[in-house]
Amino acid sequence: MRISFKQIRIGKLLAVLKGAVILPIKANSVGRLGRIAGRLMIRNKGKLVIGANVSFHAKPFPSSISVDRQAKLWVGDNVFFNYGLDIGCTKSIRIGDNTIIGPMVNIIDTNFHPVDVEDQSFSKDIVICNNVWIGRGVLILPGITIGQNSVIAAGSVVTRNIPDNVLAGGAPARVIREIHVPKEWVRRYN
């Protein structure tokens, strides 16, 4: 099966049009050329800021973003979100520029429910720095910072901070090795 150049252009055009209609209604601030392909559910009761050239590829499975009252979700420029995304923001989540978020990724800044009566679970900030790649099926838990240029391997559960320029993976995620990323190199430009 071959896809023609015209089909690709029409698909991207439709995604840009859908983004131009939906994102300004749902977000507090949106950069230019936002794209939505598939079904993206956004519930924003706080502050949602989306940078320029951000792409939501929500098919074949839908994606969901929830921003609670007084919570803040910032998405940088040139960010790509794959299908099955689930973001639960109750306090603060920041996603840096040129980041790739793989399919079926969960990012939550709270546990939502205490484990027991002594559990003092509170929402904790999540920071995903610039030029990061989050692999398929990763779970990012509250209070995590993922350093610049790092890669999180598929299926990982991120329970502690990840430094800059490393490949991390596992459950719980740990540093596997350092990676070489030149200063001006960007992981993705949509």
In one-letter notation, the amino acid at residue 40 is L
- Residues in CB range of 37: below 8 A, 6 or more apart: 11, 14, 15, 18, 55, 56, 57, 58, 59
Q: Which among 2, 6, 69, 113 is annotated as catalytic?
A: 113
Beta carbons of 111 and 122 less than 8 angstroms apart: no
Provide the 3-class DSSP secondary structure of residue 151.
strand
Indicate the length of the chain as a whole number. Answer: 190
**φ and ψ at 12, to 5 degrees?**
-65, -40
* Pairing state between β 166-169 and 174-178: antiparallel
- CA angle (31, 33, 35) in 5-degree steps: 110
Measured distance CA(145)–CA(149) in Å, rounded: 12
Catalytic status, residue 180:
no
- Which residue, 123, 36, 114, 122, is CA-closest to 75? 36
Q: Which residues are identified as catalytic?
A: 113
